[in-house]
Structure 1
């Protein structure tokens, strides 16, 4: 017990490292917040606070981190937009007509470096070289509409 009293700040730092390492397995930010509390206990020990005060300060810091910091971290982590996967990622992309799309006859577009069969939304005729926006993917066919001028 005497070693812990004489080396309390080192014990707190060791506990913080163990908790931070265990956080790598859980990845839910709970153990990381407890590690922050342990670091607060280390600071209190380093400035000469008593054992009871060290534990109280570590507990208060851990609870505050769990209540204030963790929700903000989780919110930032989970607020990113969902990434479209598969063919849905092409919707909204810009393409260039490589073979005339006529009325109700399919043509071709260059989309993301690949040649796709394409039809025009509304049965429009679109000449080669024109920029188009992909509005839908139906099977292996891109449904496109001409890009507004000036875009």
Structure 2
């Protein structure tokens, strides 16, 4: 398999991981992998250059966007709507069992849901806390 194909597969995996984590860190690594893949496409024998260029791009994006993101989040009046999920009500669209996470719909958005007790489809729940893309919920009646 050609090196550029491997780089693009790695980039795709990192982009998918980014969609699951919403941290933006995997995005920068994915972009670095794309750069490595582009270099591999045009200079397949330059493995060292591929790795170095991918690493430099990833580290540069990570370094500069962390500072920008931090400044943006600390700006007066900034509120992240995802942080306001605690206490919101939702409806279970896929049952939560002891063996499997469920899915909850809150304000029109679907989230992976975890609970200490099994919860059936259609039951109303309240969001206790959020951890990345997973909501911890409890039955509304509790």
TM-score, length-normalised on structure 2?
0.48
* Larger radius of gyration between Structure 1 and Structure 2: 1
Structure scoring higher RCO (CA < 8 A, sep ≥ 6) equals 2
| TM-score under structure 1 length normalisation | 0.45
